Amino acid sequence: MTNAELQQRKDAATPRGVGVMCDFYAARAENAELWDIEGRRFIDFAAGIAVVNTGHRHPRVVAAIREQLERFTHTAYQIVPYASYVELAEKLNARAPGAHPKKTAFFTTGAEAVENAVKIARAATGRPGIIAFSGGFHGRTMMGMALTGKVAPYKVGFGPFPSDVFHAPFPNPLHGISTTDSLRAVETLLKADIDAARVAAIIFEPVQGEGGFYPAPAEFVHGLRHLCDKYGILLIADEVQTGFARTGKLFAMEHYEVAADLITMAKSLAGGMPLAGVVGRADVMDAAAPGGLGGTYAGNPLALAAAHAVLDVIDEERLCERATRLGNALKARLAALQADVPQLAEVRGPGAMVACEFLVPGTLDPDARFAKRVQARALERGLLLLVCGAYGNVVRFLFPLTIEDAVFNEALDLLEEALKESVGAMA
């Protein structure tokens, strides 16, 4: 079987709506490396879109899944519960930011976590309205799409969407949107579009993921907390992509001096297994009636076992500190290249949630063509990169935090080659 043969079968058997970046097919993976079915090796700076922060097939995670597999694979927690669900909830309650008592419920996907956070917020407040932000990504379900602040490709042809969802601009200094602008826009919504007394929650990403890896400034998060406290609104931090050591903290909200009322999580929570959750204030989490939360596969035993192992690996291998060290090395390497790569306008991001944004030299016009060229040149060399941003002009870096130093340095060399060759090709 070749990649070309499988590609033909894929095109015939699966819909085009499931967009696929690569035209080759995975055969095996180990830590930060993967090999396709024809034996080619790639360094993975995508990590399954921030899912394997602990690397592909970490031995601790594999062993935990194998051990649980010998016991049972499914009972449906709502029918016959099991200790691992309770124990993981206890761990996350203790470690999530905020001094308030907390409770956690588990689900299967990040979009499910977001949907349920909205349900919980509405149940707790008795209000319908939700405020989100431009550039935010919150999933592909109907409510997730309504909250997402990016039309193409996520919303095209899928409306109408749930009502009582409103958007304000997210801070973006590179493109002229200040924290003051964003907070004033929220206040304007409360004057022009929806009464504050009808808003259940404001949802935001501490670092926007698909939107372009724009970090939320501290004064912005403090401003949101102030608005929420002023009007009795709940603050939801969507940490689906930022969680589990990616930003140099277990949760990105630890970078701020204020806490969210609810935090959504998924992706690297279970090291490649499908698991999501919502952790939040105990009184708020208890607002939903029995049976109002859950799902047939929510809190799957195999995924829970993996998540326990992931938390152990993060602690024992000091992945928060490692994320900061590797992220700083990447940012320094990129910053040193800015003189040779005039399209490289900004390098940003906390910890190992790093991105670089490309603009047409001498302008503020997004250069998506250059970003795509860099991605393609890197892929030719065996380095997987992801493009993001409202204009597709941002390259984001999501390498496993367990990546060996030698492999990491090799990847940086490949990245530098791809950037310099792309400049030459555009000349």
Can you give the pLDDT at residue 41?
A: 98
Q: Which two tokens stand for residue 402?
A: 């367990």
Confidence band of 152 (pLDDT split at 50, 70, 90): confident
**Same domain (yes/no): 364, 234:** no
Using one digit for the tens of pLDDT, what is the confidence trace for 173-192? Answer: 999 999 999 999 999 999 99
Give the angle 278-280-282 at the CA atoms, nearest 5°.
125
Can you give the pLDDT at residue 216?
A: 98
Q: Which amino acid is at 15?
A: P
Can you give the pLDDT at residue 427?
A: 61
What's the half-sphere exposure (Cβ side, CA atoms, 13 Å) at 324? 8
How many structural domains does the chain have? 2
**Same domain (yes/no): 164, 242:** yes
Query: 252: alpha, beta or left, given left = phi > 0 and alpha = psi -120 to 50?
Result: alpha
Using one digit for the tens of pLDDT, what is the confidence trace for 358-373? Answer: 999 999 999 999 999 9
Percent of the chain with pLDDT over 90: 98
- Rounded to 10°, the helix 319-337/405-426 angle is 30
**Same domain (yes/no): 165, 218:** yes
Q: Is the pLDDT of residue 221 over 70?
A: yes
Residue 358's Cα: distance from chain center in Å? Answer: 21
- Listing DSSP states for 178-189 in one string gives -HHHHHHHHHHH
Can you give the pLDDT at residue 1?
A: 87
DSSP one-letter code for 268: G
| Mean pLDDT score, 288-312 | 97
Q: Is the pLDDT of residue 426 over 70?
A: no
The answer to whether residues 58 and 313 touch, using CB atoms and an 8 Å cutoff, is yes
- How many CB atoms sit inside 10 A of residue 155's CB? 15
**Same domain (yes/no): 138, 245:** yes
Q: Is the pLDDT of residue 319 over 70?
A: yes
| Mean pLDDT score, 367-391 | 97
**Same domain (yes/no): 397, 327:** yes
**Same domain (yes/no): 382, 289:** no
| Mean pLDDT score, 276-301 | 97
**Same domain (yes/no): 20, 81:** no
Structural domain of 10: 3-57+318-426
Can you give the pLDDT at residue 32?
A: 98
Give the angle 20-269-412 at the CA atoms, nearest 5°.
60
**Same domain (yes/no): 299, 368:** no
Confidence band of 149 (pLDDT split at 50, 70, 90): very high
| Mean pLDDT score, 258-282 | 98
The answer to whether residues 418 and 383 touch, using CB atoms and an 8 Å cutoff, is yes
| CATH number, residue 80 | 3.40.640.10
Q: Is the pLDDT of residue 104 over 80?
A: yes
Confidence band of 425 (pLDDT split at 50, 70, 90): confident
| CATH number, residue 325 | 3.90.1150.10
**Same domain (yes/no): 18, 116:** no
**Same domain (yes/no): 233, 274:** yes
Percent of the chain with pLDDT over 70: 100
Which is nearest to 360 in space by CA: 344, 374, 347, 376? 344
Residue with structure tokens 């449906």?
Answer: 76
Cα 393 from Cα 390, distance rounded (Å): 8
Confidence band of 290 (pLDDT split at 50, 70, 90): very high
Which helix or strand (DSSP H or E) is residue 200 part of?
A: strand 199-204
| Mean pLDDT score, 166-177 | 96
**H-type helices in 51-109, by residue range?**
59-69, 83-95
Domain end: 316, 338, 373, which one?
316
Using one digit for the tens of pLDDT, what is the confidence trace for 130-143? Answer: 999 999 999 999 99
Domain end: 259, 281, 316, which one?
316
Confidence band of 424 (pLDDT split at 50, 70, 90): confident
Give the angle 108-386-153 at the CA atoms, nearest 5°.
70
Neighbouring residues of 242: CB distance < 8 A, sequence distance ≥ 6:
205, 206, 207, 209, 251, 252, 353
- How many CB atoms sit inside 10 A of residue 328's CB? 14
| Mean pLDDT score, 27-52 | 98
Cα 112 from Cα 150, distance rounded (Å): 19
Cα 331 from Cα 426, distance rounded (Å): 23
Neighbouring residues of 48: CB distance < 8 A, sequence distance ≥ 6:
272
Residue 54's Cα: distance from chain center in Å? Answer: 15
Cα 292 from Cα 116, distance rounded (Å): 9
What's the half-sphere exposure (Cβ side, CA atoms, 13 Å) at 66? 7
**Same domain (yes/no): 141, 42:** no
Q: Is the pLDDT of residue 126 over 90?
A: yes
**Same domain (yes/no): 238, 278:** yes
The answer to whether residues 203 and 147 touch, using CB atoms and an 8 Å cutoff, is yes
Domain end: 266, 292, 316, which one?
316
Task: Give me the chain's average pLDDT, please.
Answer: 97
Confidence (pTM)? 0.97
Can you give the pLDDT at residue 164?
A: 96
| Mean pLDDT score, 331-360 | 97
